């Protein structure tokens, strides 16, 4: 179990919903100050308010990680507010259209998925890295997916962009390996969240049937791993994609 000595500031992008919301709540209970960010600004505020109501420390900002100018301005405010931003958990992601064969994929939809799942992850990293370099410390964790490692039929855009994210993390981890900053990703199989609820049943059944444990992952199971990966205790792993797949991942 990871606990955070105060002050330990963690920004969670995608904190309004699903995995980001669960990770924010758990890490707050473990003593971290949580900065909740989401393009759903009200949802981010609600997560922060829940943390505050239970005695934790939190603040909230609306953000669209694909918007280069406002993204960078928001991170400047987050860094100013915290003094030192120790970690970033980036849970912003979308599936785009699913249950489609590759020849049916709309290139415009592919572009939207790319901008959030890959370019957004780059922009978030770029916004915080100079600050983390100045402190010789940082933890960056991006949410990838088992789809990026194995490829899910019916999910060309999602699988491709999550594979790209995994490659980006491999490269960035090495770039900063001597600096005290680690950059990793986490690859869940199916965790029941609003993102999964919005997918066609056939697509969800296809993904769930592939899990050897024959069940979906729980939000707490994701939050526990996230909490440890961005803690000071996880100090000798970088450029790596952690598994959270009930046995589906074989490498
Ligand atoms: N739930 C799963 O089974 C599963 C499996 C594998 C990977 N993942 C990944 O985990 C991450 C979290 O997924 P989730 O299931 O919690 O999804 P979710 O839809 O419940 O939450 C995602 C959050 O990201 C926010 N977001 C989307 N685009 C954004 C943007 N441009 N800027 C800022 N915020 C934005 C949304 O508003 C939402 O609150 C995603 O990257 C997803 O691809 C989820």
Q: For 137-192, what is each residue's pLDDT tens digit?
A: 999 999 999 999 999 999 999 999 999 999 999 999 999 999 999 999 999 999 99
How far is it, in rounded angstroms, from Cα 222 to Cα 187? 10
Residue 108 scores a pLDDT above 70: yes
Of the listed ranges 57-61, 80-84, 206-210, the one predicted with least confidence = 206-210
Q: For 23-50, what is each residue's pLDDT tens digit?
A: 999 999 999 999 999 999 999 999 999 9
How far is it, in rounded angstroms, from Cα 59 to Cα 64? 17
pLDDT band at 16 (very low <50, low <70, confident <90, very high): very high
Distance 178 CA to ligand 1 centre (A): 30
Residue 3 scores a pLDDT above 90: no
Mutate to test the pocket of ligand 1, among 40, 62, 91 (most ligand atoms within 8 A of CB): 91
pLDDT band at 100 (very low <50, low <70, confident <90, very high): very high
Return the SS3 of 37: strand
Residue identifier of the C-alpha nearest atom 9 of ligand 1: 143
Q: What is the pLDDT of residue 245?
A: 97
Active-site residue (options: 61, 158, 176, 206): 158
Enclosing H/E stretch for 242: strand 241-244
Name the CATH superfamily for 9-243.
Answer: NAD(P)-binding Rossmann-like Domain (3.40.50.720)
Tokens 């592939």 sit on residue: 210
Residue 158 annotated among the catalytic residues of the structure:
yes
Q: Where are the domains of the chain?
A: 9-243
The pTM of this model reads 0.98
Mutate to test the pocket of ligand 1, among 18, 25, 184 (most ligand atoms within 8 A of CB): 18
Q: For 178-191, what is each residue's pLDDT tens digit?
A: 999 999 999 999 99
Are 120 and 92 contacting, i.e. CB atoms less than 8 angstroms apart?
yes
Residue identifier of the C-alpha nearest atom 29 of ligand 1: 92
Residue identifier of the C-alpha nearest atom 27 of ligand 1: 92
- Atom number, ligand 1, closest to the C-alpha of residue 43: 39
Q: 81 is written with which tokens?
A: 């507010």
- Measure CA of the first residue to CA of the last residue in the chain; give whole Å: 25
Q: What is the mean pLDDT of the chain?
A: 96
Q: For 189-229, what is each residue's pLDDT tens digit?
A: 999 999 999 999 998 999 999 999 999 999 999 999 999 99
Return the SS3 of 244: strand
Percent of the chain past pLDDT 70, that is, above it, reads 99
Residues in Cβ contact with 2 at an 8 Å cutoff, skipping those fewer than 6 apart? 30, 227, 228, 231, 233, 234
Rounded mean pLDDT, 69-80: 95
How far is it, in rounded angstroms, from Cα 97 to Cα 75? 30
Q: What is the pLDDT of residue 1?
A: 64
How far is it, in rounded angstroms, from Cα 47 to Cα 37? 10
Q: What is the pLDDT of residue 251?
A: 84
Q: Do the strands 9-13 and 87-90 form a parallel or antiparallel pair, or are they unpaired?
A: parallel
């Amino acid at each position: 179990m990871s606990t955070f000595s105060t002050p330990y500031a963690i920004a969670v992008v995608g904190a309004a919903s699903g995995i980001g919301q669960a990770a924010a709540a758990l890490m707050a209970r473990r003593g971290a100050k949580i900065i909740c960010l989401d393009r759903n600004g009200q949802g981010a505020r609600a997560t922060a308010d829940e943390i505050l109501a239970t005695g934790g420390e939190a603040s909230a900002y609306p953000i669209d990680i694909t918007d280069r100018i406002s993204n960078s301005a928001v991170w400047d405010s987050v860094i100013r507010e915290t003094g030192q931003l120790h970690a970033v958990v980036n849970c912003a992601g979308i599936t785009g259209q699913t249950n489609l064969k590759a020849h049916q994929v709309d290139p415009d939809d592919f572009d939207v998925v790319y901008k959030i799942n890959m370019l957004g992850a780059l922009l978030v990293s770029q916004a915080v890295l100079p600050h983390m370099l100045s402190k010789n410390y940082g933890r960056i964790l991006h949410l990838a997916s088992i789809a990026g490692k194995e490829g899910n039929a019916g999910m060309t855009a999602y699988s491709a962009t999550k594979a790209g994210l995994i490659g980006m993390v491999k490269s960035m981890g090495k770039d900063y390996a001597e600096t005290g900053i680690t950059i990793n990703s986490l690859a869940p199989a199916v965790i029941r969240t609003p993102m999964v609820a919005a997918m066609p049943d056939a697509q969800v059944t296809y993904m769930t049937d592939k899990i050897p444990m024959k069940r979906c992952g729980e939000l707490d199971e994701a939050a526990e791993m996230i909490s440890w990966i961005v803690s000071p205790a996880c100090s000798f792993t970088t450029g790596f994609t952690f598994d959270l797949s009930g046995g589906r991942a074989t490498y």
